[in-house]
Chains A and B, each alone.
Chain A
Amino acid sequence: MSETSRVILTIFGTGLVTWLSRVLPFAVLKKIRLPKIVLEYLSFVPIVSMSALWFDNLFIQHLGQVPTVNVDYLLATFPAVVTAVMTKSLLAVVLVGMAALALIRYL
């Protein structure tokens, strides 16, 4: 198999499984009603998944040992949090966060 066809097969294979993860829950949930306990479980998904996507970026993994802190990211986190509290604007948080990190790296 040529390298290009190997890559193309991988792309379509990974595309299919990803698509199924996205679409099947929608398709199934159109048919059935979820029990209350499952809905309650799902109500925690937003805050937990967003926090997890934030925190896992703040650490550098050393599998089998405790992670170390990504110091640049941690430092840039503070102005980003302050901006979030002060402005409640996502755009402002993103711009301040990026500028803070660029500055930290420059210094």
Chain B
Amino acid sequence: MNTALTKSVALRETLPTVFGYIGIGIAFGVLGHAAGLSLGLVVLMSLITYAGSAQFVAVSMLAGGSSILSIILAVFLINSRFILMSMSVAQYFKKESTMKNIVLASLLTDESYALAMNKVNYTQGQLSFEWLNTVNLISYGIWAGASGLGAWLGTTIRHPEALGLDFALVAMFIGLVYLQLISDRQLGYGLQLVMIGLTLVLVYGALIFIPKNFVVLVVTLLACGIGVLLKHVRN
């Protein structure tokens, strides 16, 4: 990460996330194809719903014959973590026009959010429309393309997991957590280490009681509250 907020820098900084999108996008296309969606519908879902893990859920529910309303509700609940992420990133774009805010918000993803939050550690808390919009657009294009490719490959690739592509996103979050840890001066090193440990414990516990797709949301809501308490106790 460097301090510039231009398009070309954004292009370079989005590169690591591209592997994640390709891996998961192809996997989604393969699954969508297996669930009976045409290539066109697979790509349409990636363009319109544009929601990573929630798309997997939607496709499985469609194949299982769930009602449209229950699918919409499930997708909304899974994606309500975006409310938190949007609130946290919106702080940096208060001066931009409403239209630019809507454009940025419409294509925000877990990954572009995480990249942006890492980026502000290097830019004295600044983000630019050009930078985040470029990151978002690359992600959007790659995601749609990869899911189309997956739907097309659906009949030929038997073992996409042999390439290790499914680990790309996990690896990226590992890298992002580390970069966040060493660069976020707002919370500091010690408190963040405590938060990472706390998150691990909460994720483990939550997996016992809460369906996997809601774990990130519930743990984030809970851990951030505990974090605020911890910070006040320490000071």
- Residues in chain A within 8 A of chain B (CB atoms): 3-4, 6-15, 17-19, 21-27, 29-30, 34, 37, 39-59, 61, 63-67, 73, 76-77, 80-81, 83-85, 88-91, 93-103, 105-106
Given A91-B15, A97-B167, A84 and B179 contact (CB-CB distance below 8 Å): yes
Secondary structure at the B interface, as helix, strand, loop or mixed, is helix
Q: Is the interface of A mostly helix, strand, loop or mixed?
A: helix
Which one of B3-11, B89-97, B137-145, B147-155 is at the interface?
B89-97
Q: For B95, give the chain A residue with the smallest CB separation.
A: A30
Other A-B contacts than A7-B37, A53-B110, 12 sampled, CB-CB below 8 A, are A10-B58, A11-B44, A14-B76, A26-B90, A50-B176, A50-B180, A65-B208, A67-B204, A83-B175, A88-B179, A98-B167, A103-B164
Chain A residues near B174 (CB-CB < 8 A): 54, 77, 80-81, 84, 93, 97
A99 to B167, CA, bound (A): 9
Q: How far is the CA of A106 from the CA of B163 in the complex (A)?
A: 10
Inter-chain contact B207/A56, CB cutoff 8 Å: yes
A residues less than 8 Å from B48 (CB atoms): 11-12, 14-15
Q: Inside 8 A of B196's CB, which chain A residues have their CB?
A: 47, 51
Asked if residues A93 and B195 are in contact (CB atoms below 8 Å), the reply is: no
B173 A96 Cβ-Cβ under 8 A: no
In the complex, whether B165 has a CB less than 8 A from a CB of chain A is: yes
Bound form: Cα–Cα A55–B203 in Å: 7
